[in-house]
Amino acid sequence: MTASTANDQRFREFKMPDVGEGLTEAEILKWYVAVGDTVSDGQVVCEVETAKAAVELPIPFDGVVHELRFGEGVTVDVGTAIISVDTRPGEGPAAAAAPAEPVAAPAAEPEPEPQGRQAVLVGYGAAPSSTKRRARKTQPAAAGAPVQQHMAAAIQAEMNGHAAPAAPAPVPAAPAAPASPAEPVGRPLAKPPVRKLAKDLGVDLATVVPTGTDGIVTREDVHAAVAARTAPAPVAEEPAAPAAPAPSVAAVPAAPADLAARETRIPVKGVRKATAQAMVASAFTAPHVTEFVTVDVTRTMKLVQQLKTDPDMAGLRVNPLLLVAKALLVAIKRNPDVNASWDEANQEIVRKDYVNLGIAAATPRGLIVPNIKDAGAKTLPQLSAALGELISTAREGRTSPADMSGGTVTITNVGVFGVDTGTPILNPGESAILAFGAVKLQPWVHKGKVKPRQVTTLALSFDHRLVDGELGSKVLADVAAVLEHPKRLITWG
């Protein structure tokens, strides 16, 4: 008991922290340490990806890395230990005592076998667990309990996609029952996705030659079995009479195999998972309304060129998005009721006297929406600097969870992809989102004559629970008016 207590004090675990606001899991992207490395308090040991950002995790104590609980690419729940550190590495013998305890306990009974399978559920599978499962299925045939053996064999047979073995007769017939389970003794192991693939393609896993570690059947093995099954199909033409139907019969199984081989399955996790959950929650919670307006932005485009040479904007990035952002902030100042959120619990509309302006940014890891805090209080140079920093940080994957929380309205620049417009979905908790389309040279009536002008289309989606059609229309019209005549940035701002 005392040895166990001393061991617990010596080996300390570092658990996956909640690095965001209420996040429940994170994926380990990269380990910066290995077993045997010396670490110190505050040293970064790994990089993890939360729902929206990549974050480096420092360890809060000194010692030597004793164990890395999960590999790279594994998603781990918050609160789960991910690394074990030996805080007293000088005491050699105790290091071996720590791993001895967990091994000794399972050896007493065959019952702990389910624990091996639980470890598989945490990640994408572990070879040690698979090995234990294989040993368990080899021995029970000689142990008795024929009814339970038959149930297990029947369930496994169904998962493999072939018929279940016949049920054993009465209990006295126990000696005869092992003959049935004896056949599946060599049944290969396979992960659930591979079993499903085999079932979908009509492949009996018992007939597949495994090439994976410890005799595990892989996806490639299943496809190879299908190919071997479909390749000899022309032999069916040997009988003279049924020669005609043979090609059509062979073509049926070939189609799904061919399609499956040309498909790629991508796990939904990290940013993609968070984006999917947020968009579904928003689309089915807030009643969306989207309005559109096409506007002549020729004067705004000229102003962009003039600002690029202005000494006050030296070293800053000036582009049309900057002026669109400023136009939206002016419109919100003229229509403050649009800058609000819906409090479902208290049945209240919360109007905000600050504007945290979100900018949708495409990154290598997916779409994120960081926001510029208190954007309405910034001058044009300050807004330009904040916008440039926000976008560069997002593309480098260094955006923190705090930078993505608390947004009030958002801009999405679909025009950079050559898209005219769209019907953007609200960022959860926000009242409106403005889509800025591509600026194109188009024929336009200007001063009574048709002339080529630079034109764009704006789309504003808003939450109809708190933004009426009149208010939404006024906001969109004000944004368009500022972009058509940018001098209104002065007269209205």
Question: What one-character DSSP code corresponds to residue 313?
Answer: G
H/E element holding 363?
A: strand 361-363
Contact 198, 190 (CB under 8 A): yes
Do the Cβ atoms of 432 and 460 come closer than 8 Å?
Answer: yes
Helix axes 245-261, 219-230, angle to 10 degrees: 160
Catalytic choice (162, 223, 446, 464): 464
DSSP E strand stretches across 1-110: 11-15, 25-31, 38-39, 44-49, 54-58, 63-68, 75-77, 81-86
150 is catalytic: no
Residue among 405, 433, 331, 443 at smallest CA distance from 21: 405
Dihedral sign computed on CA atoms, order 64, 69, 74, 78: negative
Rounded Cα distance, 429 and 342, in Å = 7
CB-based contacts of 93, cutoff 8 Å, min separation 6: none
Reported residue count of the chain is: 493
Residue positions annotated with a catalytic role = 464
